[in-house]
């Protein structure tokens, strides 16, 4: 089965991001496919490389980054939501005249069309968070 996953909450706001991460791991362990994970609204905060949780806490952005690398996942941050929250990759930072970027490895910025495409390609779309 092919899944599209939508994450609407930040990594430490509610349980949604952590639950989505555990769901993604389980889906992959069962041999299913993840078409794309789309981070929307505050969910784009999962894609920042500037998060510094306490040492005894889980590092959710790093967890997503590692999962993407290990499984060649497509992790997409909504461009409009990311820009509103100061999340920029190199290309967007340059386009906006900013001198730095903060998107962690494994994530990319793109538009809502990526969410629509994932929904078309997937057998199921599962959303985490409001």
CATH number of the CATH domain containing 64 = 3.40.1260.10
**By CB neighbour count within 10 A (0-12 exposed, 13-18 middle, 19+ buried), where does 78 fall?**
buried
Q: Could you give the number of structural domains in the chain?
A: 1
Strand arrangement of the beta sheet that strand 75-78 belongs to: 107-110, 75-78, 33-39, 2-7, 124-128
DSSP of 33-59, one letter per residue? Answer: EEEEEEE-GGGGGGGBTT----TTS--
User: Max alpha carbon distance in the chain (Å)?
Assistant: 44
In this prediction, residue 4 carries a pLDDT of 98
Residuewise pLDDT in 10s, the chain (130 residues): 999 999 999 999 889 999 999 999 999 999 999 999 999 999 999 999 999 999 999 999 999 999 999 999 999 999 999 999 999 999 999 999 999 999 999 999 999 999 999 999 999 999 999 8
Look up the domain containing 27 and give its range.
2-128
Q: What is the pLDDT of residue 43?
A: 98
Q: Residue ranges of the alpha helices (H) in 72-128?
A: 79-84, 90-95, 113-121
DSSP 52-64: ---TTS--HHHHH
Query: Which residues are catalytically annotated?
Result: 78
CA angle centred on 118, ends 23 and 48, rounded to 5°: 60
Task: State the CB neighbour count (10 A cutoff) for residue 25.
Answer: 14
CB 93 within 8 A of CB 99: yes
Quote the pTM value.
0.96
pLDDT of residue 9: 97
Q: Whole-angstrom distance between the N-terminal and C-terminal Cα of the chain?
A: 25
């Amino acid at each position: 089965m092919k899944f599209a996953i939508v994450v609407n909450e930040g990594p430490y706001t509610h349980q949604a991001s952590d639950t989505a991460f555990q769901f993604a791991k389980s889906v992959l362990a069962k041999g299913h496919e993840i078409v794309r994970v789309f981070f929307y609204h505050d969910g784009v905060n999962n894609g920042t490389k500037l998060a510094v949780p306490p040492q005894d806490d889980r590092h959710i952005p790093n967890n997503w980054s590692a999962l993407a690398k290990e499984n060649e996942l497509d992790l997409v941050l909504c461009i409009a939501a990311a820009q509103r929250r100061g999340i920029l990759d190199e290309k967007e930072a340059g386009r906006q005249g900013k001198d730095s970027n903060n998107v962690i490895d494994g994530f990319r910025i793109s538009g809502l069309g990526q969410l629509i495409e994932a929904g078309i390609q997937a057998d199921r779309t599962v959303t985490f968070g409001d």
